[in-house]
A and B are shown apart, each in its own frame.
Chain A
Amino acid sequence: MPVIEIKNLSKSYRVYQKREGVMASIKGLFHREYKEVHAVNDISLEVEEGEFVAFLGPNGAGKTTTLKLLSGVINPTSGTCSVLGHVPWERKNEYRRRFALVMGQKNQLWWDLPAAESFRLNQHIYGISAEEFNRTRDELTDMLDVTRLLSQPVRELSLGERMKMELIAALLHKPDVLFLDEPTIGLDVIAQHKIQQFLKHYQETQNNTILLTSHYMKDISALCKRVVIIAGGEIYHDGSLEEIVDRFSSHKIVTLQMANDRSLEGLQNLPNVISVEAPKIKFRVDREDVGQTLGEILGLHDVDDIVVEDPPLEDVIASAFSDAAEQQKSQQETIEASSP
């Protein structure tokens, strides 16, 4: 049985439309215009135990709304959902003891107190025995290398250190399901890497189910085998990272290291050249033409080394996003065209 089961889940908000200007504001006092915003639109999804799933999508795509629905912070407009056999928005304590939500932009620790105090509080909130609490805490602080910071007030910690503490606080009760909303936002590369490594290791040993949203491709490629692309409140793609590359990138990047500067001649005029740093040249080739193109070049030029690779993940995802946006636009147009 899947741990998370979402069926036709939708959430729409009524948003007050305010026009510019004083007159409009005065008018707004008497008559308000509202616009319906479909933050999440008819989403269906199943996640099995032990999966590490990434939610990808442009800002405002509905990723955070989905996490909020799953953690029971908001009620849906329609549709059903079950996590660990519970309906999240009933907010039963049995459910609340078994999951955790970490938001990279929100602080859940006591600002003026050492993290150790917040941990102790969580110990009692979640009813963790002293022995187990000590073991888990020591393990986690050790893994994240923050043991020496335990007794320092949270406000004095750096952003990265604080994020680590937030993670520990959320993991003390060993949640079966973990929702991570941009856990590495604003962190430097080293801290990001450290948290990625930690999450990977943690998930492998605990085999819990994790849903993650992030804008950093590094997070996703390091952690998640399965990627769900959400755009405009709808699921646009659900599959492995490789599938995304296959589906959304029509070309490969070829880098040639020529024997000498002279052998470059004639190649500069190729279509889709990305960069030329003699005696090196980089260009884009359609997937199906790679073999043919390389064959032709090798026949005519002196080549020392060849690298053929997929375009950077960022580019692929960007093209997937714009693809999704276009598809939605055309859908909307058909709807508008069909309605009088």
Chain B
Amino acid sequence: MSQAIPVAEQSLSLMQRARIWWTFFQVAINERLVYRGDFMIGTLMRFLPTLTQIFLWWAIYDVVAQSGSDSIASYRYGDMVAYYLMVTIARAFSSMPGLTSGIANQVRNGEVKKFLIQPIDMQGCLLVQRIAHKLVYYLIATLPFALVFFLCRDFFIDGWPSTEVTIVFFASLILTFLLGFFMESAIGLISFWFLEVTSLTFIYMLMNFLLSGHMFPLELLPESPINVRGFVEFLPFKYLAYFPAAVFLGKVEGPEMYRGLAIEASWVLFFIIISRIMWIRGVKRYSGYGG
């Protein structure tokens, strides 16, 4: 995000800037490895809610079967379980534990000063740090993830999707990471205006939970009397969980899939700009009122 740094930054060569971020990345990795035990347990815990979902939907499909149908909103039982597993993957990219509260804490206790005093950008730091954290996480989580997916392989009724879909799926995962990061950092930056952002974070989490497809596939949302389903289409939340999973499972295809990817990218850009503006104005306010 260095383009927003004042003109003076130009005196640094691209090479030097890359060195800064690379060192930062290494340091963040080292820091993260301190907590590897905590990570292992955290990863396995991620699948616990999925397990309860599997049992719940098993019971529901049992009832549905009695009326002679085998699917709900085009999801068969296997699709439903596969959906939850894919959502777990998407959320492993888009969820940003501690980002909002971390920024709010830094503003409140004044640690944010560091980024005013030192010639380094806060958001860039946080992003590099987050990438490092995520990579360490994936490294450690690969084994448990692989195990769960191997055990659940039969739920993927249609098997592995085409190469084209796989590429779009991975692109959507990278974008969902960026979207989650910039959305949550924007919320964290609100702390420049209101010191306490816990309730805002809670609202965000709730919206995320219901409208991202984390709780259930968005196809299950009602279209009448109020068109909730259509409404959710206009929000950024669905790209945090539903969209990557839907791409992988073939629920969105062809031009629809590319359109979704483009909208996701636009949301990322939107939140990059928003959070950038918020940072600049927040710092202005911070330095005007106190610190």
User: Residues on A close to B: CB < 8 A?
Assistant: 13-14, 68, 71-75, 89, 91-94, 96-97, 100-101, 106, 108, 110, 112-113, 117-118, 120-121, 123-127, 153
Contacts and interface: CB of A to CB of B under 8 A. Distances in A.
B180 to A, nearest CB: 24
A271 B284 CA distance: 59
Given A93-B119, A94-B11, A117-B27, A106 B111 contact: yes
B16 A68 contact: no
Contact of B23 (A68, A71, A73, A120): A120
A25 B288 CA distance: 26
B24 A121 contact: yes
A92 B8 contact: yes
Interface in B10-34: 11-12, 16, 19-20, 22-24, 27, 30-31, 34
Interface of B: 5-6, 8-9, 11-12, 16, 19-20, 22-24, 27, 30-31, 34, 110-111, 113-114, 116-120, 284, 286-291
Contacts of A110: 27, 31
14 contacts: A14-B289, A73-B291, A74-B288, A75-B284, A75-B287, A93-B6, A93-B9, A101-B117, A106-B113, A112-B34, A118-B27, A120-B23, A124-B24, A126-B119
B110 A106 contact: yes
Given A71-B117, A73-B291, A113-B30, A121 B6 contact: no
Given A13-B289, A101-B117, 14 more contacts: A72-B116, A73-B116, A73-B291, A74-B286, A89-B287, A91-B116, A93-B6, A96-B119, A106-B113, A113-B31, A121-B23, A121-B27, A124-B19, A125-B118
Contact of B31 (A75, A93, A112): A112
B106 to A, nearest CB: 11
Contacts, number: 79
A72 B12 CA distance: 21
B291 to A, nearest CB: 5
Given A93-B11, A110-B31, A125-B20, A72 B291 contact: no
Contacts of B16: 124, 127
A125 B27 CA distance: 13
B263 to A, nearest CB: 36
Nearest to A94: B8
Contacts of A68: 113, 291
B290 A74 contact: yes
Contact of B30 (A101, A117, A125): A117
Nearest to A123: B23
Contacts of B22: 124
Contact of B287 (A74, A121, A123, A125): A74
A72 B19 contact: no
Contacts of A113: 27, 30-31, 34
B290 A13 contact: yes
A92 B6 contact: yes
Contacts of B11: 93-94
A99 to B, nearest CB: 8
A112 B30 CA distance: 9
Nearest to A108: B114
